């Protein structure tokens, strides 16, 4: 049988930007910021960028910035923007600071690479969007998996009818996270701080890539593409936000999208998305860009690369008519609608005894929700919510009409079985 998976290929190469290296400021050095430190080191060595400055509330050692030259440090981004006037600012800071810092950078004349999630709700998202439009600055969002050539390859398979009529898209996301994960920072595991939304939950932060990529595959990027969102939020840990949750998004063109997530799995699993069709399915293991096609009794597998989002932003700034942003802010509007639904939903329901087990193993002190690994798999197979799979701790979902307000949540606990 001839191969039907499109050949692996990267996004169109941005190519080197001629002239003076682009001046980049990094806000947020620790945690995930270390990924940006390493990437900037690579780009400094290539001659594409110089590091104009680094911003973090904590002092930054020379060892941390090895390979980045000797950039100035400040705990005040506004001060650093005035002093250094960067071409591009990378913002990798707590979620609830994104809007203020992105707006400050664009107001100072800088383009922005903004880590995901771009904002903890629609109001903050709209504020960033208005500033980008008024200042003419580019704002790219750090959903690196949306820069994978796997997504257009899967879209082509669906359009060509290889898996028949599409039935829906699902995500299965199950990781192990110890108790210290939820105390890693003052905003970890929080729904709000001082009245400001944070929304650091399983669906909106660690598995935000799954939600955003699933919506992209469903061709739902703007809030107007969505009709209704159903959310179930739960927690086994003593936190404000959800560590176990699921969502089903009903798109206006009829494709349902579900994502089931947990940070309380018995074992780590490679998160995946599944596009279900009447003749087969396509599975994307988005962390490594692996696509598996199963249709008409045959299986094919291919790996697809990703384009670096900072390089893409730099190339776009240099040649805006020739190079498009891969993840412009407007491409994350539907995802932000899901964040808003999670934010507005009732506080997560506790998963208590006997449905959780406390372990102390090589991962650390942690909770495991009994049977959650299989439940996540079943959700992805059936495009079903936990409550529909009769999880003994599940309650009915909160339904959010996009453009409206969340309906009153049903709190009756479903019986097991």
- Is 6 or 329 the better-scoring residue by pLDDT? 329
User: What is the four-CA torsion angle of 160, 163, 168, 172, rounded to 10 degrees?
Assistant: -120
Q: What does the pLDDT read at residue 20?
A: 84
The pLDDT tens digits for 268-308 are: 999 999 999 999 999 999 999 999 999 988 899 999 999 99
Give Cα 330 distance to the centre of its chain.
Answer: 15
Q: What does the pLDDT read at residue 416?
A: 26
Alpha-carbon distance values, 324 to 162, 310, 328 (Å): 29, 13, 9
The pLDDT tens digits for 73-85 are: 999 999 999 999 9
- For the chain, give the mean pLDDT: 93
Domain boundaries, the chain: 22-145, 148-306+329-401
CB atoms within 10 A of CB 102: 31
Strands annotated E in 129-255: 139-141, 166-174, 192-193, 196-197, 226-235, 244-251
The pLDDT tens digits for 236-247 are: 999 999 999 999
Pairing relation of β-strands 111-114 and 139-141?
Answer: parallel
Q: What is the DSSP string of 312-346?
A: HHHHHHH-TTT---SSBGGGGHHHHHHHHHHHHSP
pTM: 0.93
Q: What's the CATH number for 148-306+329-401?
A: 3.30.360.10
CB 184 within 8 A of CB 178: no
Whether residue 344 is predicted with pLDDT greater than 60 in this model: the reply is yes
**CATH class of the domain at 22-145:** alpha beta
CB 276 within 8 A of CB 169: yes
The pLDDT tens digits for 370-416 are: 999 999 999 999 999 999 999 999 999 999 999 655 543 333 222 22
Q: What does the pLDDT read at residue 34?
A: 94
């Amino acid at each position: 049988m001839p191969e039907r998976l499109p050949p692996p290929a990267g996004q169109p190469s941005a190519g080197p930007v001629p002239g003076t290296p682009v001046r980049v400021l990094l806000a947020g050095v620790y945690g995930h910021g270390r990924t940006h430190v390493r990437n900037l080191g690579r780009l400094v060595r290539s001659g594409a960028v110089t590091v104009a400055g680094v911003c973090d509330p904590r002092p930054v050692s020379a060892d941390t910035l090895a390979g980045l030259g000797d950039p100035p440090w400040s705990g005040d981004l506004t001060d650093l923007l005035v002093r250094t006037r960067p071409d591009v600012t990378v913002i990798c800071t707590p979620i609830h600071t994104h809007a203020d810092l992105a707006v400050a950078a664009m107001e100072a004349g800088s383009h922005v690479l903004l880590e995901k999630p771009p904002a903890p709700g629609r109001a903050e998202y709209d504020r960033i969007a208005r500033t980008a439009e008024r200042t003419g600055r580019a704002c790219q969002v750090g959903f690196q998996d949306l820069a994978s050539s796997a997504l257009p390859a899967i879209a082509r398979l669906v359009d060509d009818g290889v898996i028949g009529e599409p039935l829906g898209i699902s995500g299965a996301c199950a990781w192990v996270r110890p108790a210290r994960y939820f105390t890693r920072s003052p905003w970890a595991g929080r729904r709000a701080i001082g009245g400001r939304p944070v929304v650091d939950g399983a669906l909106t932060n660690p598995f935000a890539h799954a939600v955003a990529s699933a919506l992209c595959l469903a061709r739902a990027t703007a809030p107007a593409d969505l009709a209704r969102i159903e959310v179930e939020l739960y927690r086994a840990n003593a936190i404000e936000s959800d560590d176990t949750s699921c969502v089903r998004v009903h798109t206006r063109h009829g494709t349902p999208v579900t994502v089931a997530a947990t940070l309380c799995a018995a074992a780590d699993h490679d998160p995946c998305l599944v596009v279900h069709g009447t003749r087969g399915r396509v599975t994307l293991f988005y962390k490594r860009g692996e696509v598996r096609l199963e249709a008409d009794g045959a299986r094919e597998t291919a790996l697809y690369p990703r384009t670096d989002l900072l390089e893409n932003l730099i190339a776009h700034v240099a040649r805006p008519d020739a190079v498009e942003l891969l993840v412009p802010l407007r491409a994350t509007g539907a995802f932000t609608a899901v964040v808003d639904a999670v934010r507005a939903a009732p506080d997560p329901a506790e998963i208590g005894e006997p449905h959780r087990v406390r372990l102390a193993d090589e991962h650390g002190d942690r909770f495991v929700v009994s049977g959650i690994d299989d439940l996540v798999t079943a959700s992805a197979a059936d495009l079903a919510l936990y409550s529909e799979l009769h999880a003994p701790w599940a309650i009915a979902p909160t339904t959010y009409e996009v453009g409206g307000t969340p309906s009153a949540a049903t709190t009756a606990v479903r019986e097991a079985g």
